[in-house]
A = this chain, B = another copy of it.
Amino acid sequence: MDAPAKTVHMNLLFDHYGQLLTDRQREIFLLYYHDDLSLGEIAENIQISRQGVHDTLQRVEQALLDLEGSLGLLAKEQRRQNTLRSLQGLLQDMLGHVEGRVPDAFLLQRLREALAAVEELMTE
């Protein structure tokens, strides 16, 4: 995985599992992966050694990977989003089909409600 891909992946894992880290781990993770500070800058910022920052980041990265290995929330979320996008496509096709014919208020209303439900599921 190249560096930008790793950063994206780590940020996604953090979104799912960050609440299981300590405050200090979260702080260092965010300074590095969110604020894009260097190890040296973080070390200066929070008054620990550069090696301490490095070791904490290594441990946090491994913890996030282990959590995904155990719970697989990120993989499940990605599968769910794929299925929701297919569902959204089907509903939009139906909406286009119904709108292009004799208006059917019953179907139109329910298709719009169904699309709203899918959007809610996609953004929760």
Which residues of A are interface residues toward B (Cβ below 8 A)?
A: 16-17, 19-20, 67, 70-71, 73, 76, 79-80, 83-84, 86-87, 90-91, 93-94, 97-98, 106-107, 110-111, 113-114, 117-118, 120-121, 124
Contact A120 B83 (CB under 8 A): yes
Q: In terms of DSSP, what is the predominant structure of the interface of chain A?
A: helix
Measured between alpha carbons, how far is A71 from B77 in the docked complex, in Å?
14
Closest to A107 in B: B94
Measured between alpha carbons, how far is A124 from B72 in the docked complex, in Å?
12
Residues of B within 8 A of A110 (CB): 90, 93-94
**Which residue in B16, B80, B94 is a CB contact (below 8 Å) of A121?**
B80
